[in-house]
Amino acid sequence: MEHTIDAQGKSIGRVASEVAHVLMGKHAPSFEKRCVADVSVKIINSALLNISPKKILQKTYTRYSGYPGGLKTETLGRVILKKGHREVLRKAVYGMLPGNKLRSKRMKNLIIE
């Protein structure tokens, strides 16, 4: 089954929480925590998200290499310039899914256009 979500004019968090809800299978009466739902989610109009200018400057993404001095930070605006709105939405959905073995399998069912 495929769900299509239109992101035009919506904020990142609202779209990401809706997508995570469907990817986990909580929308279906046959919901099971331990299984990956047989559903794919397609997000359209990701470039037309409603992002405030303040968030573009202040929201940061951090990653750590594990080595001394290896902490890297990027702002939301920089990520959009380098990789586009798709990456921002993908990171938001990834953060809203439970951090277990099923997370990567659920993320494979996400299509962002």
State mean pLDDT over 78-85: 96
**pLDDT of the residue at 15:** 97
For the segment 41-80, what is each residue's pLDDT rounded down to a tens digit? 999 999 999 999 999 999 999 999 999 999 999 999 999 9
**pLDDT of the residue at 16:** 97
Edge-to-edge strand list for the sheet holding 110-112:
2-6, 40-44, 110-112
Residue that the structure tokens 């109009």 belong to: 45
Tokens of 47: 């470039």
pLDDT > 90? residue 1: no
Q: For the chain, which domains are there?
A: 2-51+84-112 (3.90.1180.10)
